[in-house]
Each structure stands twice: as C-alpha cells, then as structure tokens.
Chain A
Amino acid sequence: MKAMLQFAAIVILFIATWFGFSRIDFVRIFHLNSINKKMERKIGDAIIDAIESGNDVIKSDSLDIIYNKIMSRLCSGTILNSDEIKLHLVKSDQINAYALPGNNIVINTRLIEKCDSASELCGIIAHETGHLELHHVMKRIIGETGISVITSMATNGNSVIAARIAKHLSTKAFERDQEREADAFAVKCLNAANIGKSGFENFMLKMAKTDGAIPDKLEWVSTHPDSKERVANIRSSKITSPKKYIQVLNDTEWAYLKKCAIQKQLVNSNLWK
C-alpha cells in the first residue's frame, strides 16, 4: 500500500515535470523548425524541378498574380504567411490537387475545369494547405522513405527519387485522421477569410456524385474517399461562418484561370495592362 502510494507520487512527479517542460516552446526558441523547413524547401525544390522538367507546368506572371490573390485571401484570417505557399498549375487529365514538401501545392488543370467557382477551388487549396501546415506531408515522406533518402535528396536533389515522391504523394491517400484534420483546418481558414465553406462543400458533393462514373480520372476522389461522410462533417462544423462573403477573384480573373486550365496552355490576357 505504502509502495503503491509512493509509486503514484513518483509517476505524478514525473508526468508533471514532463508536462511543465513541454509547455516551453523549445522548437520556436531554438529555431528548430527553420532547420526542418530549410531541408523541406530543398526537397520541395527538387520535386518541383522534376515536375517542371516534364514541361507540364503552365506558368505566367498573370497566373502568379492570381495565385497571390488566392493565397493572400486564404491566409488573411490566419497567422500563415501567404508568400510561403506556392501554387503550380500542371497539365493533367486527372482531377487532382496535392501538397508537396516545401509548401508547394500542385493543381491539375482538370480540377480547375471541374470547379464552378473560385471558392470551390479555394476549398481544395485550403484543404491541401492544411496538409502542409499540419506537417502531414513531411511526416509521411519521412515515414515512407526514411530519413536517409530525405537527407540525400536535400543535399543532391536526385530527380528520379523526386519524381517518384511526387507520383506517390499525388496518388496515395493520407490517413483518415489527417484528412479530417485537414478538412477542419480548411473550414476554419475559409471562414476566417470570408470565403465560407459552401464552395468546398459543393465541390465535394460533386465529387461524391461522380463517384464511380469515371474512376480513373478521379484521383482526388480516390485519395480522398468517403466524400459523403466528410461533407457531413464539414456541414456540422461548429466554426462560425463569416458575417459577409467576399469574392476571391473577380469574374475576368476566374475566367482567365479557367480558360488556361481548359486549353491546357496560356491564353492571351489583357487583364492587367
């Protein structure tokens, strides 16, 4: 009995000490994240280089302005720095968008084709941003390839491995808990940015309906199953909706982005002359 009490006291002392120490934000104080981030950025650059070498990325200053507008709006209600997250438009018939290390998000042209509004697209981007901010992407790469591959990638930037990682991240699903977390993050982010969650919800409903119709083109659905259950979760989310809704892109900007996506190439624009 006496031993039990003393044992309990020691266990409590141990846990209390641990808990006390954990309150201190060592990671921030000693800039441990910046070391991680630097490595992550290098890996991300190698992967983006690999994708760009395939000549499948559509790039232009006009698109950059649009990306900027989207990201700064999405980040406006959060502490995130919108400049850090980069969007990439990739020519592909797969309806898909995915997060890559180093705060990169790839959006396939076909996904934009399927979006009926900029707020639907923002929903997807917010969800992928969630995967980045919650460290799902790096955790997964480290877990699945091992740290040795990561460090060699960070130093040499092996393009074969980079391409393989990109392929893996775009076609394999995250864990269900991580998807739920990313959804919750997206809803919070969308509401705080006065975009609202309805676009995100709409897109997911659309995906749920086409489920099974053209399965080979629906990568995002295959890596994000249980659309109906997720929509229900998003609907029941208790995070307060924005008081007013503000358009993310104006009609011409959205039309331009969509046209680029449909034609899978840059189209002439006189938007910003």
Chain B
Amino acid sequence: MTPDPISTYKPNEQELERASNSYLMSLIAVMAGMPLPIINLVATLIFYLGNRKSSWYVKWHCTQTLFSQLTLLIVNSIGFSWTLSVIFGSDILTNNYIGYMLTIVLFNLGEFIVTIYAAVQTRKGKPVSFWFWGTLTNMVCKPPIGSEGLNAPDIQTAYE
C-alpha cells in the first residue's frame, strides 16, 4: 500500500499554520453549526475559497475540512428541518426523532474531537488523513509533481 501523498509532503512553517487554521475554523463552525447548520458550510467555504491560491498542502487540508463539514451539513440539516417540523409542523416528539438528534450530537462531537486532534497534529507537521474524507480528498487534490517521497513522516489516520 502506497502512503498517502499528504504524509510525504514537506511543508514550510507558514503552510503548517494555515493548514492547521483550516481545522480551527471548522471547530468554530461545528459549534455554531449545531443550531444553524448552514453556518458550517459558509464558514468552511469562505476559508476554502480564501486559500484556493495557496500551496497544495494547505489546499489539501482545506478540502478535507470542507468534505467533513459537508457531511455534517447534510445530517445537521435533516435534524434542523425535522426539529422545525416537530415544533411548527405535523410531526410529534418520537423516540426516533430524539435518537436522531442524539446521534448527530455524537457525530458532531466526534468531528469536534478529531478536528482538534487534526489541528494540533497538523501544526506539528504531522498531517492527519481522516477516514473516508482523507481518501476522498486524495481523489480530488492531486499532489504537485515531484513532491512525493520527500522525508516521509509516519502516516497518521484518524478514525471518525
């Protein structure tokens, strides 16, 4: 199995900081995103667009953040509209509804913890490739030619 391209890239100090910031940005988004899921996306999208012209390393991390935020956006939006329907619409409070809300709280929490971990590790120069989202990011963000194989640190994988 070949190592992820992200783990073989040698970033400079500024890249480390910006990549790490993309996770911090998403942390704020997770906190705000629970009541209003659209904030998730807007915050991450702004950061993503702002770093479009950055180096591949920074872009990779921003993309990974964007993907994980998109996933949360979907489940949170379902929870949000379900809540509206319970309060204002024809749905009633059911175990299914409460179960769903607890599940998304748990997933948001999981995302929160993993994101903190990723922010810290990325700052230290040890990139974290999320499960699924990392794989997806690798498919979208192709590394620049010639960057592979440079001083490969250990592969870190965060499970979420």
Contacts and interface: CB of A to CB of B under 8 A. Distances in A.
Interface in B91-143: 92-96, 98-100, 102-103, 106-107, 131-132, 135-136, 139
B96 A6 contact: no
Contact of B135 (A3, A14, A21): A3
Interface stretch (A46-54, A92-100, A139-147, A200-208): A139-147
Contacts of B99: 18-24, 26
Interface of B: 71, 75, 87-90, 92-96, 98-100, 102-103, 106-107, 131-132, 135-136, 139, 160
Given A3-B132, A3-B139, A21-B102, A27 B95 contact: yes
A27 B87 CA distance: 16
Q: Is the interface of B mostly helix, strand, loop or mixed?
A: helix
Contacts of A138: 92
Given A14-B75, A14-B107, A143-B90, A25 B132 contact: no
A261 B75 CA distance: 56
Interface size class of A (residues with CB under 8 A): 20 to 34
Nearest to B71: A10
A171 to B, nearest CB: 20
Interface of A: 2-3, 6-7, 9-10, 14, 17-27, 32, 36, 135, 138-140, 142-143, 146-148
24 contacts: A3-B132, A6-B132, A9-B131, A9-B132, A10-B131, A10-B132, A10-B160, A14-B103, A17-B106, A18-B96, A18-B99, A18-B100, A20-B99, A21-B99, A22-B96, A24-B95, A26-B95, A26-B98, A26-B99, A36-B93, A139-B90, A142-B92, A143-B90, A147-B88
Contacts of A17: 103, 106-107
Nearest to A27: B95
Given A2-B135, A17-B106, A147 B95 contact: no
